[in-house]
Chains A and B, each alone.
Chain A
Amino acid sequence: MPGYSDPGFDTLAVHAGARPDPTTGARATPIYLTTSFVFESSDHAASLFNMERPGHVYSRLSNPTTDVLEQRVAALEGGSGAIATASGMAALHLAIVTLMGAGSHIVASTALYGGSQNLLNYTLRRFGIETTFVKPTDVDAWRAAIRPTTRLLLGETIGNPGLEVLDIPTVSQIAHEAGIPLLVDSTFTTPYLMKPLALGADMVYHAATKFLSGHGTVMGGVLVDGGAFDWDASGRFPELARPYDGFHDMVFAQESSVAAFLLRARREGLRDFGACMSPHSAWLILQGIETLGARMERHVRNTERVVQFLASHPFVARVGHPLLESHPSHKIAQKLLPRGAGAVFSFDLRGNREQGKRFIETLKIFSHLANVGDCRSLVIHPASTTHFRMTDEALLAGGITQGTIRLSIGLEDPDDLIDDLKRALKAAEKFDAKAGA
């Protein structure tokens, strides 16, 4: 696409990474559902394995359909490249295992998705990787938790489920002063609402299962590198700055000043752990991304209506959305998230656990399930589902109570969503009256 303009978000969302298929002329990106690709000759095969020329060998490592998705998400995030993975958790795992091994240390926000908490707090400890959790808004705690073995700072753009907005410019500065990269989970915000790399983060990952695909139909993750971190200067990353005997003694940081992380992640992590994305999944996620801007705008608009309704309802004790001045991240959200602070938030009923249960079971349009970022509106009780392994203390540290209910606002008519919530709130309130009678 030659031209003098800098393509905007919606143009990139439709075109980045894609061209008419060179064989058939197909305009939409085809699904290359094949495990492997024929070599033209033995020399051709050798040159592909030896990274002398670009091309595909085996779909665990790369695939033409997946490549389009990777380029597209990298383009939307302003990154140098990306790797698509089997899930968001696989993207997080790929980032971690590329940067460290046993004896390493991570500093992470307490306000993380429950699955990420499990990985860091339980599973990775078994493999010798320790994590210190800090409140995302406690700047001093981030700095104090860094050790000589620390390899990564990790947070979410807006924490799950309390929606604490991560002060990326400040936390990234703390990370960079120590020669450590900052990795950010941007699943809740998508590049439409925030571009963490432009704010100072070094890498971004998504559960593409959520808003990027947007229709609740597919699992996937994407890990994006900004290409800015200096792996040599840090001195903490021999994996990238020293010869790797697992791949031609390659020194990844010397191969490319901006692609070292992704080269190693693909040549080792994707190769050896194998959590790749199916080309069919990549295609589904591409369909979602083509309408990402339009959908996110509507998600945010609907959310604003629902938040305003709940905030004024007498049976609601608290609404936790940065849109509201009462939210601790209201001010920073206005600065870092001018297009809106997302469509996932939590609120507390003025009632007991049984009333919360009645509320969820009365809803008709909202679906009770463990997901967010669907075009359909969703509801869940975090304490008994996504965060059920956490202690009460850990729950409170993450801003969750026993009565917290999380909503993911979809694309339905906002009046219908508000009617649905109104009915369920009324039913919950009456349920308490009957119980007391």
Chain B
Amino acid sequence: MFYQVQGAPLYCYTGDKAFDAAKPTVVLIHGVLCDHGVWIWQARHLANHGFNVLSIDLPGHGRSGGEAPASVAQAADTIAALLDAAGAQKAALVGHSWGSLIAMETAARLQDRISHLVLIGTAAPMKVSPALIAASQDDPEAALKMINVFSRSTLASPTGAGFWVYGASMALGRKVLRSNPRVNVFHRGFVACDQYEGGPAAMAQLTCPILFLLGSQDQMTQPRAAQPLIAAARQAGKTVQVQHLPVGHHQMTEAPKETTAALHEFLCC
């Protein structure tokens, strides 16, 4: 369904459920050059287990209108506005990769309004190599291939339904890129990741428990790159859980059952 957010339609996949103010709400935030479809298993599970699910297409991505966010801060403003538009007084935020930075920044701003924070495939700073940033602008197809190779840890998807996750990611990236003829959302997203420096400060302001869900074979955001954030959270006395899955950067599709189980357990506690 669509919510009118910041003057533009924002698409949210809800697992075919109507919003119920009595239920807890969880917002799922995708990464660069992705859309809500990366959460296909987790969104349906949560929607059928007592949650309002708002699995968004970021502005200017996929089905959503509006201006594609040029910074983590801009995207955080959108998430805050979405909660208002949906009538969600409190919500859990789950973000993957760039989405994890957006979730963290939103949680820092909204403080007690956020019940849980899940950071999947995260790092801060989330530096992107200059070569990859340049390729995302000059040769998006080559850059897309590079990030898929970096992101995947296996040539065998565990989905059991004939999906070739590498090919599906390539198709999704091309489709999201085509969905916005005004802005190269690939390049803009990478720049936003690269320039975000608010991680430690945001971590200090959080009031909710945090789950880090890291891929031990992740080449895009290597587990060691998440350590400064984890240390900052612990130093600030936050409630922190860290879970490693034996997969690459796309935990949601490379380890769908384990990712869903981790989310379910954390969000229900």
Contact = CB atoms under 8 A, between A and B. Distances in A.
State whether these chains interact.
yes
Contact of A53 (B13, B63, B150, B257): B257
Interface stretch (A10-18, A357-365, A368-376, A386-394): A10-18
A258 B155 contact: no
B157 to A, nearest CB: 6
Given A80-B164, A257-B175, A17 B155 contact: yes
Contact of A227 (B40, B172, B256, B257): B172
B167 A228 contact: no
A226 interface: yes
A15 B152 CA distance: 14
Interface string A237-257: 000000000001111001111
A259 interface: yes
A262 B165 CA distance: 13
Given A6-B149, A53-B260, A250-B16, A71 B217 contact: no
Given A5-B149, A17-B164, A71-B164, A256 B156 contact: no
B160 A2 contact: no
Nearest to A52: B45
B4 interface: no
A242 to B, nearest CB: 13
B163 A81 contact: yes
B113 interface: no
A255 B37 contact: yes
A127 to B, nearest CB: 26
Contacts of A16: 155-156, 164
Contacts, number: 145
Contacts of B62: 257
B158 interface: yes
Contact of B149 (A4, A53, A259): A4
B156 A19 contact: yes
Nearest to B162: A70
B37 A257 contact: yes
Q: A18, A74, A254, A257: which has the most chain B beta carbons within 10 Å? A: A257
Contact of B44 (A51, A67, A258): A51
Contact of B167 (A3, A79, A256, A266): A79
Contact of A2 (B145, B157, B171, B219): B219
A80 B230 CA distance: 35
Interface string B138-182: 000000010001101111111111111011101110111000000
Nearest to A17: B156
A4 B219 contact: yes
Given A18-B156, A74-B162, A80-B163, 19 more contacts: A5-B149, A15-B156, A16-B155, A47-B45, A52-B41, A62-B162, A67-B161, A74-B164, A75-B167, A79-B167, A80-B167, A81-B162, A81-B164, A82-B162, A228-B175, A254-B13, A257-B37, A258-B175, A266-B162
A321 B256 CA distance: 48
A47 B162 CA distance: 18
Interface SS, A side? loop
A320 interface: no
A388 B257 CA distance: 52
B194 interface: no
Interface of B: 13, 16, 35, 37, 40-41, 44-45, 48, 62-63, 145, 149-150, 152-164, 166-168, 170-172, 174-176, 217, 219, 248, 256-257, 260
B168 A259 contact: yes
A55 interface: yes
A47 B45 CA distance: 7
A148 interface: no
A161 to B, nearest CB: 31
B160 A54 contact: yes
Given A6-B145, A256-B40, A258-B171, A75 B161 contact: no
A75 B166 contact: yes
A125 interface: no
A312 interface: no
B48 A50 contact: yes
Given A6-B145, A54-B257, A248-B16, A71 B154 contact: no
30 contacts: A2-B154, A3-B149, A16-B155, A16-B164, A18-B155, A19-B156, A47-B48, A50-B44, A52-B41, A52-B48, A53-B45, A53-B257, A54-B158, A54-B159, A55-B257, A67-B161, A70-B162, A75-B166, A75-B167, A79-B164, A80-B164, A80-B171, A81-B167, A81-B168, A227-B167, A251-B16, A257-B172, A257-B176, A259-B40, A259-B163
B35 A257 contact: yes
B156 A62 contact: no
A295 to B, nearest CB: 21
